[in-house]
């Protein structure tokens, strides 16, 4: 399938798909015409990338995780245990950011007269 169909099937823009390729997350076949050719595995890969991006992970971390996925989910399932510590740290970073944003919201609520 070409980039337009992959975009349609995954909801990722063609620009995003080209970016994923630049980052080493996708490796489409190149036809003699220069067009990219994707297959069904790429649909699953793009969906994994989207899930991991929505989890707040950057593409460099995702590039390490994608090869470790063992089935149609994004669960590592014991493969690549060296990533678990880094992912735990990333989760801690996100939790801290949530706490900081909640504190900021509480301050704003107090400024506009909403109860804490």
- For the chain, state the CA radius of gyration: 19
Can you name the CATH fold of 3-79? Multidrug-efflux Transporter Regulator; Chain: A; Domain 2 (1.10.1660)
Q: What is the pTM of this model?
A: 0.75
Q: Which of 8-12, 89-93, 99-103 is the least confident region?
A: 89-93
**How far apart, in Å, are the Cα atoms of 13 and each of 31, 44, 66, 107, 108?**
21, 15, 20, 38, 36
Task: Please check the confidence at residue 116 and state whether its pLDDT lies above 60.
Answer: no
Q: Which pLDDT band, with edges at 50, 70 and 90, does 77 fall under?
A: low
Average pLDDT for the chain: 87
Percent of the chain with pLDDT over 90: 51
Of the candidates 93, 44, 36, 86, the one whose C-alpha atom is nearest the C-alpha of residue 65 is 86
């Amino acid at each position: 399938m070409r980039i337009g169909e992959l975009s349609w099937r995954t909801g990722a823009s063609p620009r995003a798909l080209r970016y994923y390729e630049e980052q080493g997350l996708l490796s489409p076949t190149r036809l003699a015409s220069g067009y990219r050719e994707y297959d069904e595995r790429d649909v699953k890969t793009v969906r994994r990338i989207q899930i991991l991006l929505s989890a707040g992970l950057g593409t460099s971390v995702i590039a390490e995780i994608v090869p470790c996925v063992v089935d149609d989910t994004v669960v590592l399932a014991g493969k690549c245990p060296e990533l678990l510590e880094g992912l735990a740290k990333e989760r801690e970073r996100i939790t801290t950011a949530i706490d900081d944003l909640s504190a900021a919201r509480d301050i704003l609520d107090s400024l506009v007269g909403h109860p804490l």
